[in-house]
Amino acid sequence: MTKTTIPLVYSCSGCSSAAQTANMISIRMDRQKVAEMSCIAGVGGDVKPLVKTAKSGRDIIAIDGCPLACCKHSLARHNVEPKHHFLLHEFDVPKKKGEDPDPELFEKAYYLVIDQINS
């Protein structure tokens, strides 16, 4: 796949362990060329080039750390619906303030996301 045909991935990147797990999953997807990571803060902040990217028609993967679904809501502000949306609490990733992500839970969640987008 070329860079412009792989899906876009957006993730929550808040301060909790779950949010940072979502961010780490997106970064790994980007580095492994599974998807191209883009900036959800820019989409939520109405930054025109980033909104244009989100609205480009490419498949979108949205990864949220918790049920607040900030990533999905930021996309919805611009009528963008992700093809895949993941809530990490559904993968038993707890939201803990002031703690780093659990490496084992990160690995488990990463492969669950990959399995679901490939099925």
What pTM does this model have? 0.94
What local confidence, expressed as pLDDT, does residue 63 receive? 98
Whose CA is closest to 17, among 71, 97, 88, 87? Answer: 97
Name 35's Cβ contacts closer than 8 Å, sequence gap at least 6: 6, 7, 8, 9, 26, 29, 61
Q: Which residues of the chain have pLDDT under 50?
A: 1
How far apart CA 119 and CA 115 sit, in angstroms, is: 6
The pLDDT value given to residue 3: 56
Burial of 89 (0-12, 13-18, 19+ CB in 10 A): middle
Can you give the pLDDT at residue 5? 83
Q: Show the tokens assigned to 101.
A: 């992500």
